[in-house]
Structure 1
Amino acid sequence: MSLMVVLSHSWLRMKFYESFLILHVVLAIVTIYALLRHTNFENTTWQNYLYPVVVIWLFDRLLRIVRILYCNVHVQFIKGFIHNDTVVRYFADADLLRIEMTPDVRAPFKPSPGQYYYLYQLMAILG
């Protein structure tokens, strides 16, 4: 758990977010497993206190995955796939990548000034 705190430093999150996320999830699983092993001794079990933690953590992970899928692979059975027009341009002189996205008119989310997007690559380990 101390390692999770150290690896949660804002500089590391900004520079290596995908690595931070993977390490954080793996270390959380290791911590929960270690707690479950640690609390089972001498025929007395304290694991009943840990099961709610496991359920809440798994529920949180599931909701995050559902949200990502809903926002990115949103399928409407009546209207079909929602298709966002996206144009990516690379400017070598400035080493800049510009992404312009125009949401479909049927998209459930309408962009407005001051909003921002988190970009995920669902099939990539590192973004």
Structure 2
Amino acid sequence: MVQFTVFTTAMVQVTVFTIAMVQVTVFIIAMLQVTVFTTAMLQVTVFTIAMVQVNVFIIAMLQVTVFTTAMVQVTVFIIAMVQVTVFIIAMVQVTVFIIAMASFIAFTRAMAGHVISYCIY
């Protein structure tokens, strides 16, 4: 009877040990699930960082677009300055033409005066 009691006690201890091992296994599985969850969170973090980098790239492209637009405006301004210069040159040519016409008129009047004087005498 004592041996049966010892055997039964040993079986109870084996059962308790087995239950403890099952609990350890469950704990290990839970830790693995935490690890998987942590890995998933890290992947989400990496994805978020990638999205931030994409946003930074988009902002950089917008800045390039703004710079290009500014360069176009500078080019338009330079073209306008060239047109102003051409207009000023044209005004100088008109002034030179007016002076030439005045000189021609003065010359014509002088010649007419000489002709009239010559005809009178």
Normalising by structure 1, we get a TM-score of 0.26
Q: Which structure has the bigger radius of gyration?
A: 2
More strand by share: 1
RCO greater where, 1 or 2, for CA within 8 Å and sep 6 or more? 1
